[in-house]
Amino acid sequence: MIAALAASTALVAAAFTAPAQAAPVPTGGHPPSKHHFSAAAESFVGANTVGQRVDKLEKAMAALPPESGAYNATKLWNAGITGAGSTVATLVSFGDDHAKEVLDQYSQKHGLPPANLEVIEPSGAVPACTDPGVDTKACQSWGGETDLDITMMHAMAPNAKIVIAATPVAETQGFTGLPEMMHAVDYMTEHKLADVISMSFGTTEENFPSFESIKTLDPALERASRAGVTMVASSGDDGPTGGYLYGPGNYPYRVASWPASDPRVTTLGGTQLHLDANGNRTAPDDLVNVADNGFGEGAGLSKAYARPSWQDGVKKATGSKMRSFPDISMEGVHGTSQSAPLFAGVLALAVQANHGRLGQINPALYTKLGPLGEKAGIVDVTKGDNSQDGVAGFTAAKGFDVASGWGTVDASKFVPALVKAVH
């Protein structure tokens, strides 16, 4: 089976060599755009030892509130729901070969148990950041992304097993790196290695050869969904727009990001928590925005995927026949690559409570949970918009909106409601 998957990946990769005709190429001979890292992830550049990485993690997390308390996950912990028996994976380029040591040192300082963590390289051996031909800065930033992802997961579901699925080709824009990532999804599906897979990456739909060509990546996500794996992705950090295939800069109009736009994925937008020193909310959450954070959370309408049937109930809010995203939102002051693993941690709690996998949760979210609002642990987000780079964004409003999806969550209510809704 593994050999067959490898052969399939090679064929897929070969099919993705066509130039991205849908993307305008700026003049000046610009190289392909790189992955858009958060400032927190980029801060890991030059941190070569475990101690240095822990220090970077401490500094990045210092500005963050205690997520588990803010989302009332501790109420679930007190009831014995800590993620035990569940497995959540983060899908990243390169990873961090010292991730477990970094997370364990961080956890020891903050009263969390040692992490049950495994690193796999299903799409081929991952190079070192110092190897010839490797972009060292990007590689080390992926290491920072990895450490931040697993910390979010562990802080929300401290007894869940965490898998880092590291791939050897950097995801940038267009198809680059994505065949290897989809192969990793297939590997985890076939070997039953994860209940939830979190993806903190994305590429503008316009940067593929055509909108239809994006769908050649869907079979791995479809197989994962059929196996009961829940896929989670970040909505992006470019507001309503996104980066060119060849940089620098963003499109001067609204675009969407994949896999955020894929209906097989539950997509997370970014909000700001307002808490006092004890972790209590002092004001309702609002959207991450340019004024406060220097970037806007990703939100928009796909040009590749039609509106799925489970979004029919919100078609008046979206005003479109196309897939709207995000579906739900969580803390994202360090980018929506923070929101996605946080929600993956919430889902790990639900997997334990469910005594098994949840599968595709979007139908339940839209038809059962969202309309119930706070009774189902859905907390409305009504303030903020994600305008950025001169492109008009989407505005949060009462009820479902394109900007925040259904809003955010109270995990203590959302987890039991989700478990009930998926049955």
Per-residue pLDDT reduced to its tens digit, 190-211: 999 999 999 999 999 999 999 9
What is the dihedral sign for C-alpha 319, 323, 327, 333?
Answer: negative
pLDDT tens-digit readout, 76-98: 999 999 999 999 999 999 999 89
CA distance 117 to 257: 29
What are the structure tokens assigned to 26, written together? Answer: 């700026």
Which residue range forms the structural domain that includes residue 144?
2-17+43-421
Question: At residue 308, does pLDDT exceed 50?
Answer: yes
Nearest to 328 by CA among 238, 418, 205: 418
Asked if 94 and 139 touch (Cβ cutoff 8 Å), the reply is yes
Structural domain includes residue 23? no
Token pair listed for 405: 């999806």
User: What is the total residue count of the chain?
Assistant: 423
Does the predicted model carry a pTM greater than 0.85?
A: yes
Packing angle of the helix pair 178-190, 2-15 (nearest 10 deg) = 160
Q: Is residue 288 part of a domain?
A: yes
pLDDT tens figures, 41-56: 888 999 989 999 999 8
Q: What are the CA-CA distances from residue 257 to residues 74, 115, 300 (Å)?
A: 33, 32, 8
Q: State the pLDDT confidence band at 315, using cuts at 50, 70 and 90.
A: very high
Which pLDDT band holds residue 62 (cuts at 50, 70, 90)?
Answer: low
Residue 281 in tokens = 């909310």
Residue 205 domain-assigned?
Answer: yes
Q: Which residues contact 128 (CB under 8 A, 6 or more apart)?
A: 97, 134
DSSP string across 334-388: T-HHHHHHHHHHHHHHHHHHHTS-----HHHIIIIIGGGGGGGTEE---S-B--B
Question: Is 32 within the bounds of a domain?
Answer: no
323 φ, ψ (degrees, to nearest 5): -60, 130
- Contact present, 56 and 151 (Cβ < 8 Å): no
Please tell me the predicted confidence (pLDDT) of residue 19: 31
40 closest CA partner among 114, 131, 129, 151: 151
The DSSP result for 173-197, as a single string, is: STTTTHHHHHHHHHHHHHTT--SEE
181, 340, 372 from 202: Cα distances, Å: 12, 12, 31
**52 versus 68: which is more confidently predicted?**
52
Amino acid at 27: T
Tokens of 223: 């197989």
| Burial annotation 223-240 (CB, 10 A radius, 16+ → b, else e) | bbbeebbbbbbbbbbbbb
Q: Is the pLDDT of residue 14 over 50?
A: no
- Tell me the average pLDDT of the chain: 90
In whole angstroms, what is the distance from residue 67 CA to residue 74 CA? 10
Nearest alpha carbon to residue 114 among 160, 71, 164, 78: 160
Max CA distance (Å), the chain:
60
| Residue 77 in tokens | 């912990």
CA–CA separation, 264 vs 310, rounded Å? 12
As a dihedral over the C-alpha atoms of residue 359, residue 395, residue 393, residue 274, rounded to 10 degrees, the angle is -80
Element (H, E) at 118: strand 116-120
Say if 304 falls within a structural domain: yes
Band the pLDDT of 423: cuts 50, 70, 90.
confident
Number of domains into which the chain is organized: 1
Any domain includes 69: yes
Give me the pLDDT at residue 32, please. 60
Q: For residues 252 and 382, what is the distance between their CA atoms, to the nearest angstrom?
A: 26
Residue 316 corresponds to which tokens in the numbers above? 């008046």
Contact 357, 89 (CB under 8 A): no
User: In the prediction, which pLDDT does 152 show?
Assistant: 93
Q: Would you say residue 30 lies in a domain?
A: no
For residue 262, what is the domain's CATH number?
A: 3.40.50.200
Mean pLDDT of 355-372: 98
In this prediction, residue 64 has a pLDDT band, given cuts at 50, 70 and 90, of low
- Which range has the worst mean pLDDT, 29-33, 233-237, 257-261, 278-282? 29-33
Residue 25 resides in a domain = no
- How many Å apart are CA 149 and CA 156, to the nearest integer? 11
How many Cβ atoms from other residues are within 10 Å of residue 63's Cβ?
A: 9
Residue 248 in this model has a pLDDT that exceeds 90: no
What's the pLDDT score for residue 410? 96
Model confidence at 319: pLDDT above 90: yes
Q: Where do we find the tokens 């997520």?
A: 67
Which helix (H) or strand (E) segment holds residue 75: the answer is: helix 73-78
Task: Give, rounded to a whole angstrom, the gap between the first and last alpha carbons of the chain.
Answer: 31
